[in-house]
Structure 1
Amino acid sequence: MKVRYTPAAGAELAAILDYIDERSPSGARNVKRRLQDIVAILAAHPYVGRLTKRPGIRRAVATPYPYLILYQVMGDSIVIHGFRHTARRPSED
């Protein structure tokens, strides 16, 4: 499956990585690698993520890091809608 990112998702990812990079460049590399690994898993197994309350939107957890990847399966594509730290707005999904 193809993977696409919404502009908002791209901006969220950049903000997350910039924030971590200011504190720990190696930490930012590790988080980025893990998020990329999870996205690759989603491309291979698009329905592995849990459905959220929002119709058609699924979420996958990027353990051991506290980030959710919010995405939607659309035809032959995975559309990444956002990234969220689990400590922020925990009741939303």
Structure 2
Amino acid sequence: MKIEWDSRAVEDLRDIVDYIDERNPVAALKTYQLIAGSVSQLATHPFIGRVGRVARTREMIVNGTPYLVAYCLGDNTVTVIAVLHAARRWPDEF
């Protein structure tokens, strides 16, 4: 499957990496690599994540981080719609 990133998810990832980078550039790079690596697995394993809290979504825990990736499945596409800290309040909709 093809992976697409919604603009919100791109902004989420950028904000996460920028925030961590201010304190620890090495950790920021590692966090980016862990998130990007997890998302890349969705191309071949789109059901790796659990059913999402928001209708018609799925959620994947990014191992080694406190982050979750929310995504939607299309016919031949996985769309990443958000990257959120697990402690944040989850939105009612995307």
* Cα displacement (A) at 1:50: 0.3
The residue aligned with 1:43 is 43
Gaps of 5+ in 2: none
* Cα displacement (A) at 1:74: 0.7
Give the aligned CA root-mean-square deviation in angstroms: 1.7
The residue aligned with 1:34 is 34
Deviates more, 1:49-58 or 1:9-18: 49-58
Q: Aligned runs of 1:1-80 on 2, under 5 Å?
A: 1-80=1-80
Runs (4+) off by over 2 Å:
90-93
* Cα displacement (A) at 1:48: 1.1
Change (3 A) 1:86 1:53: closer
Gaps of 5+ in 1: none
Indicate the percent of aligned positions where both proteins have the same amino acid: 31
Change (3 A) 1:90 1:4: closer
CA contact (8 A) 2:54 2:92 kept: no
* Cα displacement (A) at 1:27: 0.3
What TM-score, normalized to structure 2? 0.91
What TM-score, normalized to structure 1? 0.92
Deviations 1:10-56 (A, max 9, x none): 11110000000111100010001101110111111001110023222
